[in-house]
Structure 1
Amino acid sequence: MPPKAKAAGKGRAPAKRKLAEEFPPGEVLTATGKKSWKLGAPIGQGGFGIIYLADENSAKPVGADAPYVIKVEPSDNGPLFSELHFYMRAAKPDLIESWMKSHKLKHLGVPRYWGSGLHESGGKKYRFMVIDRLGTDLQKKFEECGRRFPRKLVLQLGLRLLNVLEYIHDHEYVHADIKPSNLMLSYSDPNQVYLVDYGLAFRYAPDGIVKEYKENPKRCHDGTIEFTSIDAHKGASPSRRSDLQILSYCMVQWLCGRLPWEDKLQDPLYVRDSKIRCQENISKFMTECFSSTDKPVEIQKFMEKVESLDYKEKPPYEELRSILQAGLKSIQAKDDGKLEFTAVNGAVSAPAQKKTRRRKAAEDIETEVPSRKKRSKENGTK
């Protein structure tokens, strides 16, 4: 048994991941296929590393309008490796274009993968990945709109995300962490939305064989606590129905402002049991969330259809789309291709203190789940 790591100080745990050092603008990274990319200014940082603006290597510096970003992290970290596994298998531009053509879609909200590799600097090795540059995330838009989205917008987002989920499911993966902060608008077209962050993406059907349902107490509550699926709360691997259940929770929150279990996010068992009660009586759940005059019947039907699915069953994507399209028709609207982020009458921004507590609760839960590096091993990666 290896020796226990010493704590850095009283009450402090040792750091689990190394942080990436910041590279200067102009640093050139060479991908596996020998194509080189130039880094611009850093635009984001997370537990995995740093995100930079980037462009194909040339004599010109990378401008503020660069069309790509590069994620960089120390090579022995886990999240980017797991995410990279998904992108290399399912997000190559030709794959996405081919699927869009066969399904007669003008757009699909999956960031395209342009390359990856290892980079050495100062005696240290870093892993990097090049993908499309995107814009703001829906969590920011949700707060700006007073934590309520118009019904038309929610149904439009649901339709777009159904297309994304059908695509990634068709390529043997589930996302497992759909939430407003993982949904980003296009950098060049604010009417398009992308699902990002595939660090928890799970290959549910390697070589077309769907994995069996098996609960594992060590993996309970994996994901983001307020949205994660009941399967994940029970420690089972995420499934296609899990993604759709998470999407339904997102749509309910966008419409009514909050989910009933958001008052106790620090208690994962309470959240799990609340969701189980919700699924057992979806009509009662909708009454808790909405008044009788603004209850979205289509969301209830959507949730009921998802609830009827078996763990290994392929979802009826077209039927689910029809349910949301019927919702648009019921409010004399249609998906005109424009996402209008306008405040709903009576919506007021949540107090900053309340948002802080909510986010802290989610962070507290996330420290209890297994590392994404471990998930990558369970996906069959090295």
Structure 2
Amino acid sequence: MAPRRKEKYKLPVPLPEGKVLDDMDGNQWTLGKMIGSGGFGLIYLAFSTNKPNKDARHVIKVEYQENGPLFSELKFYQRAAKREYIKKWIEQRKLDYLGVPIFYGFGLTNFKGRSYRFMVMERLGIDLQQKLSDQKGTFQKSTVLQLGIRVLDILEYIHENEYVHGDIKAANLLLGYTNPDRVYLADYGLCYRYCPNGNHKQYQENPRKGHNGTIEFTSLDAHKGVAPSRRSDVEILGYCMLRWLCGKLPWDANLEDPLAVQTAKTNLLDELPQSVLSWASGSSCCELAQFLVCVHNLAYEEKPDYQKLKKILNPNGVPLGLLEFSSKAQSVHVCTPTLPKAVSHSRPVDPSLLPCGS
């Protein structure tokens, strides 16, 4: 009998440890212990039956077949993030790595009369939210800027493949399991194909869909119910970096009121660069002020200048080293600004006119 609609998005009944799953390519995977759950699915450690290893290097995500997020994530990997595509991109762009998790396979399995969809991925380490908690809510400025550059590399890749992520945040950024000095953007279950077959979605506000996403970081377009675009992703990244550096955002006290958050973000962006410079110790946020100026000047369908954004975050072109997380949290003086009402600039601010302090 078909499941009732109200059960559609329930977490699935856990599969037993040791169950063997056959993917669509004929590979077999043995389920290890369950290590997480979220959204509509479960996550297990996994072992290839062909190459047994006591230390699991893979995970398997499972959900009921009729659920949507894992299906959407699977489509993203099949269309845009196959291993050979990523390898070619890394070679063409001369990158040391690209922080998109490796996809190994997928399939269907049955348990207790229900059909499950599963997807096999590389195992990753802890997320940045845990790192933030360990460091009293902030990262060192050099770490924040390097994280921004690494995420820009990822965003450029997925944007060129017709997708936007839409939910960039510390909880979705994971360090590598075998290489914890690298960062990966995970969770593509809610990603959006903004430009199917080269046709960009049109700008259209829809109040019924307003305020989607993680309220602290979501873009102004999302607050207005506009479908996400490339500028949404880089705007979200700007808010994330501001939070990682300062430990909080100007609208944190109003998270229960989406309209107040939207207004505060509008004020912040319309009063750039001073709004950001005054938020935390003046020039200590200069790069982020420049970054957000560039983002705010983007048109809805415009392609971000990723190289320019990365240069803002690394003006001296210093080669990126290993990601480092200090055991001592830095102290950043955060002001409580009284932001004026939103006022649109008569002309865009040129970020090159914002010299950064040392």
Q: TM-score range by the shorter chain?
A: 0.7 to 0.9
For the 8 Å contact 1:17–1:48, the answer to whether it is kept is yes
What is the aligned counterpart of 1:130 among 111, 120, 125? Answer: 120
For the 8 Å contact 1:70–1:131, the answer to whether it is kept is yes
What is the aligned counterpart of 2:281 among 269, 280, 291? Answer: 291
* Aligned equivalents of 1:178, 1:246: Cα separation in 2: 6
Q: Report the Cα offset of residue 288 of structure 1.
A: 4.2
For the 8 Å contact 2:164–2:192, the answer to whether it is kept is yes
For the 8 Å contact 1:115–1:129, the answer to whether it is kept is yes
Q: Which amino acid aligns with 1:271?
A: V
* Aligned equivalents of 2:201, 2:51: Cα separation in 1: 49
RMSD, aligned CA: 2.0
Q: Which amino acid aligns with 1:322?
A: K
TM-aligned CA distance change 1:59 to 1:82, over 3 Å: closer
Equivalent position of 1:321 in the other structure: 310
Equivalent position of 1:202 in the other structure: 192
Q: Which amino acid aligns with 2:327?
A: T
* Aligned equivalents of 1:108, 1:323: Cα separation in 2: 20
For the 8 Å contact 1:325–1:334, the answer to whether it is kept is no
Q: Report the Cα offset of residue 58 of structure 1.
A: 4.2
What is the aligned counterpart of 2:320 among 335, 352, 356? Answer: 335
What is the aligned counterpart of 1:52 among 40, 44, 51? Answer: 44
Equivalent position of 2:157 in the other structure: 167
Q: Report the Cα offset of residue 25 of structure 1.
A: 2.1
Q: Report the Cα offset of residue 285 of structure 1.
A: 2.0
For the 8 Å contact 2:139–2:325, the answer to whether it is kept is no
* Aligned equivalents of 1:149, 1:95: Cα separation in 2: 32
Q: Which amino acid aligns with 1:54?
A: A
Q: Report the Cα offset of residue 180 of structure 1.
A: 0.3
Q: Report the Cα offset of residue 39 of structure 1.
A: 0.9
- Please state whether the residue corresponding to 1:39 is helix, strand or coil: strand
**Cα deviations by residue, 1:117-160 (Å, 9 ceiling, x for unpaired):** 11112211001001110000001101111111100000110110
* Aligned equivalents of 2:322, 2:162: Cα separation in 1: 28
Q: Report the Cα offset of residue 334 of structure 1.
A: 5.4
Q: Report the Cα offset of residue 56 of structure 1.
A: 1.5
TM-aligned CA distance change 1:92 to 1:263, over 3 Å: same
For the 8 Å contact 1:153–1:339, the answer to whether it is kept is yes
Q: Are positions 1:112 and 2:102 aligned together?
A: yes
Of 21-30 and 102-111, deviating more is 21-30
- Please state whether the residue corresponding to 2:31 is helix, strand or coil: strand
* Aligned equivalents of 1:83, 1:150: Cα separation in 2: 32
Equivalent position of 1:26 in the other structure: 18
- Please state whether the residue corresponding to 1:73 is helix, strand or coil: strand
Equivalent position of 1:241 in the other structure: 231
For the 8 Å contact 2:103–2:122, the answer to whether it is kept is yes
Equivalent position of 2:76 in the other structure: 86
* Aligned equivalents of 2:240, 2:327: Cα separation in 1: 18
Equivalent position of 2:251 in the other structure: 261
* Aligned equivalents of 1:59, 1:134: Cα separation in 2: 19
Q: Report the Cα offset of residue 340 of structure 1.
A: 2.8
Provide structure 1 residue ranges, at least 5 long, that are not aligned to the other structure. 6-13, 349-382
TM-aligned CA distance change 1:45 to 1:216, over 3 Å: same
* Aligned equivalents of 2:134, 2:8: Cα separation in 1: 34
Q: Are positions 1:275 and 2:275 aligned together?
A: no
Provide structure 2 residue ranges, at least 5 long, that are not aligned to the other structure. 334-358
Identity of aligned residues (%): 47
Equivalent position of 1:357 in the other structure: none
For the 8 Å contact 2:280–2:332, the answer to whether it is kept is no
Q: Are positions 1:36 and 2:28 aligned together?
A: yes
**Cα deviations by residue, 1:155-201 (Å, 9 ceiling, x for unpaired):** 11011001000000011000000000000000011110000111210
- Please state whether the residue corresponding to 1:106 is helix, strand or coil: coil
* TM-score relative to the length of structure 1: 0.82
Report how many residues are paired: 330
Choose between structure 1 and 2 for higher RCO, CA contacts under 8 A separated by at least 6 residues: 1
Q: Report the Cα offset of residue 29 of structure 1.
A: 1.0
* Aligned equivalents of 2:191, 2:326: Cα separation in 1: 28
Q: Which amino acid aligns with 2:222?
A: A
* Aligned equivalents of 1:302, 1:53: Cα separation in 2: 38
- Please state whether the residue corresponding to 1:295 is helix, strand or coil: helix
Equivalent position of 2:134 in the other structure: 144
* Aligned equivalents of 2:319, 2:90: Cα separation in 1: 21
* Aligned equivalents of 1:99, 1:169: Cα separation in 2: 13
- Please state whether the residue corresponding to 1:260 is helix, strand or coil: coil
* Aligned equivalents of 1:229, 1:59: Cα separation in 2: 44
Q: Report the Cα offset of residue 227 of structure 1.
A: 0.3
